[in-house]
Each structure stands twice: as C-alpha cells, then as structure tokens.
Structure 1
C-alpha cells in the first residue's frame, strides 16, 4: 500500500510541478522585451574539459522571461553536443516567453517541447495561435564555463521567472565546430535561436515549489517502499520455511 500510494503521489506531483502558473503569479514589470545593446567586450577564450573555446560577443543582452521548456545538453540521448561537437559549454537550452504572452495568459494556451536544437511550439486549441505573439518567445543556447553560473542555470525549472545577463555571441573551437546566434526576436526556423554567454543567472520567482518538494519526498518514499518489498520477497519465504 505504501508503494502504490507513493507511486500515485509521485506521478501526480510530477505532472503538477510542470504546470505553468497563472499570469498573476509573475512580476509583470520584469517581463519586458529583452534588452540588446552594443557591447565593448572583446573576443575571449574559455576552457572546458580540455577544449579551448573562442567566444565572440556581438551584443550585451539582458533577458527576463518565463521558462516554458528546456533541454539539457548532457542527457544520454543528446549525442551531438558531447560526442560529435565536443561542445561542453552549451550546458542547457531554455525556451522562454515574456511580455503580452504572459500578461494575457496566451502562453498557457500553447504546448512546448525541446529537442537538441529546437523549441517546438503549438496551440492547445485553435484560437490560441491568434493570441500568441511569436516575437515574444525565444529558444536560448546558454553558454558558461563558470561552475557557479552553471549550477544556477541548471536549477531552473519549467514555470520559473528568470533573469540572465551576458552577451549574444558566436563561439567555436579548434576542432572545426562553430555556432552563431540570432540577433533579432522576429526570425523563425533554422538559425533563429539566441546563443548567450551567461555572466549572471537568477531565478526571480520559482514556480510550484510545493509540488517539487512533494515530488522529491514521494520518490524517497517510493524507493524506500520498493526496497522493503525486495527485502520481504527474499526474507519472507525463508521465515516461512523455518516455521
């Protein structure tokens, strides 16, 4: 009973923790359009796992937005970043929305998913596509070689209101790999993603903290109950024979 109950709670809380909060949850004053300004920062190099990367800043960039989907570059299914490209500084992609998409609740009428390169967006119902502002969404390839910044980026979850500062940048390494960046929010399709070298990353408002806690606790209870079942499976027959 403990195992089944904790399994049910884990499944329910896993679904609930990924739900996007209502517009009133967010600080709308900090969800304006991204700020892109000319940069004075010169090209520089960073190193990660023995690879030397050249970063070419194009613009200083400030992004305040709500996370609607994400992709971790270090998952087993993503063979491109690590095996094919040796790209160890693009640690995560965040698909985000801001502005009227959040204020009018249009963002919750859409569905989102991320793959290695792309944020896929579609309407949950037919009218949703008419409300949604496509120039108030972006998929961001986030670069960092700073462990503290990396931890902050990796701590973000769906629904969080985040703020990042850094530079829109091109980057490359000596193995022949290179990637550019979009410099406008109005493009779509291949090449429309922003590549950002992140200097600072903050979570302004964490989404669904209660459900995230319930999910973690239910997993602990689930694994404990599973271990108990395994022990009973092997111990109980022995005790029965001895009786």
Structure 2
C-alpha cells in the first residue's frame, strides 16, 4: 500500500535537514598555537579576597591593603596582611618542608623568576638550588645577566595555601612551569610570640629577603 503523501514529504524534509547538519558542523573558536588553557584554582574569596591582579608579562604587583580587608587566619596563628601581591613568573625550583615551625604554615617554597629570569638562555647558564628555606644560584665564569638584575628578577617565596584546594594545586607545581599567584604578603603571628614576616621589596637578598605569601589563587599556564 502506498504511503500517504504527507509522510513522503516529512521523510524528504528529514533527509534534507540531516544532510545540512552533517555538512555544517558547529563552529569552534581557534586557540593560538602559543596558548595553553590555564588551570586556575581559587580559594573561597569571602575568606581570601583577591588583590589587584598583575598585568600579563609585568613585574610582580604589590598593592596596598584595602580598608575593608577581612581578617586572615590559619590554624595556630593569625595572619597580619602587609600588602596585596600578584605575580606571573617561571618556576625556577620548588622545595617541600615538613620539619620546622615554618612548615606548619608553609609546606612549600617556590623559587620564582620574572623578566629575563624566565629565559632559557639565561637559566641555562645558572645553577639553581634550594634548601633550608633559601634559594641559591651560581655560574661558571660570569653571570649571564647583571647580578643586580638577578636579585631584582627572582626570589624564593614561602607559600601559605589558603585552603586544601590551593594546597593541592601547589603540590602539583613543577620547575619550569609558568604560574600566576595572587594573594597577600603577610606576617604570621603565633600566640606564643613567634613571628614570621614577609619581605616587602624585590630589591633585597639574604636573610629576611623571602616573601611570605598567603595564596588565594594559583594559575598554572
């Protein structure tokens, strides 16, 4: 028995629509070859608000504490915010710690470089190591860039994760990666009188020159 005309029309239209859909896939946005999708981990911003963010490729951004800044704390201590801090950098090295008072708050140090201290040609001529909460560099004959520039363009930073998610993200960071870290330079104040204070300049070196960073957000690029 012949099919009704209306069913024949519906079948023909269905075939035409299927053919059009197969020949016109949904458009996708192109991703430049030099771009990686960022892996961003943020703490709860109500407890760890973000500071002003550094511009891409710029030197670390240190900013003033806003008047409405909430109190910061970690188990066993209070945190006194000293400055907002946002940095894009290359990871020159990492070192984890389990022993010492500092390790109760900061289980990881990251040695970070920016400016020319991100360049392969420069880093290939430097030997970089960490230990004892210090960051060290040396060279064979002469530094690949002026020593003052190395000091101003790199630092060992003590990372205080704001929560377990940030701690897990920090635990995955490897030397050679590029990261952005947003948070606060702080002084750790313990009830027994122990203090641990961040440096507030990128111009120093030696004892007391490391940044103590309460990390609210980490972006691995």
Larger Rg: 2
Q: Name the residue aligned to 1:168.
A: 185
| Residues 1:141 and 1:44: Cα distance change in structure 2 (over 3 Å) | same
Contact preservation (8 Å) 1:89, 1:145: no
Q: CA deviation at 1:46?
A: 2.1
Q: Gaps spanning 5+ residues in structure 1: where?
A: 1-24, 205-243
SS at match of 1:190: coil
- Equivalents in 2 of 1:70, 1:103: separation in Å? 18
- Equivalents in 2 of 1:189, 1:203: separation in Å? 28
1:59 counterpart (76, 83, 94): 83
Contact preservation (8 Å) 1:171, 1:178: yes
SS at match of 1:30: coil
CA deviation string 1:110-154 (max 9, x = no partner): 111111220011114425254753200011001124000000111
Contact preservation (8 Å) 2:162, 2:216: no
- Equivalents in 2 of 1:166, 1:144: separation in Å? 9
Q: Name the residue aligned to 1:126.
A: 142
Q: CA deviation at 1:71?
A: 1.1
- Equivalents in 2 of 1:33, 1:104: separation in Å? 18
Q: Name the residue aligned to 1:22.
A: none
- Give the TM-score normalised by structure 1: 0.63
Q: Name the residue aligned to 1:73.
A: 97
Contact preservation (8 Å) 2:162, 2:214: no
- Equivalents in 2 of 1:133, 1:26: separation in Å? 27
Q: Gaps spanning 5+ residues in structure 2: where?
A: 1-33, 37-54
Q: Name the residue aligned to 1:138.
A: 155
Structure 2 residue 74 is the aligned partner of structure 1 residue 46: yes
Contact preservation (8 Å) 1:42, 1:56: no
| Residues 1:26 and 1:106: Cα distance change in structure 2 (over 3 Å) | farther
Counterpart mapping for 1:83-232 below 5 A: 85=101, 87-103=103-119, 105-128=121-144, 130=146, 133-204=150-221
Q: Name the residue aligned to 1:6.
A: none
Contact preservation (8 Å) 1:97, 1:107: no
SS at match of 1:133: helix
- Equivalents in 2 of 1:65, 1:56: separation in Å? 25
- Equivalents in 2 of 1:57, 1:165: separation in Å? 13
- Equivalents in 2 of 1:171, 1:136: separation in Å? 25
SS at match of 1:113: strand
- Equivalents in 2 of 1:176, 1:56: separation in Å? 14
Structure 2 residue 56 is the aligned partner of structure 1 residue 30: yes
SS at match of 1:159: coil
Q: How many residues get paired?
A: 167
SS at match of 2:174: coil
- Give the TM-score normalised by structure 2: 0.68
| Residues 1:127 and 1:177: Cα distance change in structure 2 (over 3 Å) | closer
